[in-house]
Amino acid sequence: MAILSYVIAGALAAVAFFLVVKPLAPAIRRLAGNRAWQSNGPMVLAILAAAAVFVAVFLAMGGGKSGGQASQEAEVLDQIHQYRFVQVLEKYRPETRDRLVAIVHNAFEQHNPALAQIQTTQLMQEYFPQYVPRTSDKAIVAFGTSLVDLFGYFETNSPETCKSLATGGTLTQGLTPERMNPTLDAMADVIEDGASKPQDPPDQAKAQALVSGVIEKMYAGTDPELLPMTALATPASQPAGKLCHTMRSFYRTVLTLPPADASIVLRKLISSTK
């Protein structure tokens, strides 16, 4: 189970990183090519996309070898439900419990771990984006802070892993479940606050102006480790160390804004609202 927990945390990290890296491309295109602001619907792969990955890995590992199929499926579901973000999602969308049960059952029945990944990603895309635009300033800023901490860890300890995560890859080393717990809890809070005390979605024009200001502030100094902002549109071809440093610097700069402004930027970049 220790190995399984490690893999689960790594899968969550991969999706969380991809979630915050990829949305910068529309802002970069606007600044570089004077194109209209675009939101990032396809990149809102956070909570349950990660669940899909770790379910798939668990099945591939042959988890729960003792007992019959029913007990094996129950063991997978028990692992999923240890995470508060799944508990919170099911609190507000109780139908997701039956859908997760069906996803795990189908993967076992068809001996196809990839099926769990595909179906759970679809489930996540359907639900999570509904909560990001309306979540509280406190919840989204805490989520951003936890991710900046993870960027810092990888920048110091494993830049290549940071690059893999930034390009939608998987985690292979360097992250324990304990290190991921703050991010998992922050993701749960995004759902909780978005459901229980929603605010208005972020204003598009203000978000655009704030992102421009963040980028200008970020490059106002002489940090030699920063990549050109346009380079972030092609992360796979960039040096790992500088890529990780640049991404962390962007979000750290966002977090220097007043919380209400940082919230506007983060909710707009990470959400799928137009």
Give the total number of structural domains in the chain: 1
pLDDT for residue 62: 53
Percent with pLDDT over 90 in the chain: 20
* Model confidence at 56: pLDDT above 50: no
Instruction: Residue 49: give the domain boundaries.
Output: 1-274
Task: Answer yes or no: are the C-beta atoms of 163 and 240 closer than 8 Å.
Answer: yes
Span 263-273, mean pLDDT? 80
Task: Answer yes or no: are the C-beta atoms of 222 and 129 closer than 8 Å.
Answer: no
* Model confidence at 64: pLDDT above 50: no
| Separation between Cα atoms, residue 257 and residue 86, nearest integer Å | 30
Buried-state track 109-123, b at ≥16 Cβ within 10 A, e below 16: eeeebebbbebbbeb
pLDDT for residue 257: 97
Structure-model confidence comparison of residues 3 and 106, the more confident one: 106
* Model confidence at 174: pLDDT above 60: no
Averaged pLDDT score across all residues of the chain: 73
pLDDT level of residue 52 (50, 70, 90 thresholds)? very low
* Model confidence at 77: pLDDT above 70: yes
pLDDT level of residue 259 (50, 70, 90 thresholds)? very high
Span 10-31, mean pLDDT? 53
pLDDT level of residue 37 (50, 70, 90 thresholds)? very low
Structure-model confidence comparison of residues 105 and 229, the more confident one: 105
pLDDT for residue 24: 57
Span 188-201, mean pLDDT? 94
* Model confidence at 262: pLDDT above 90: yes
Span 248-266, mean pLDDT? 93
pLDDT level of residue 195 (50, 70, 90 thresholds)? very high
CA-CA distances (angstroms) from residue 75 to 4, 58, 60, 261?
11, 10, 14, 43
Span 85-97, mean pLDDT? 91
Span 124-150, mean pLDDT? 87
Structure-model confidence comparison of residues 40 and 123, the more confident one: 123
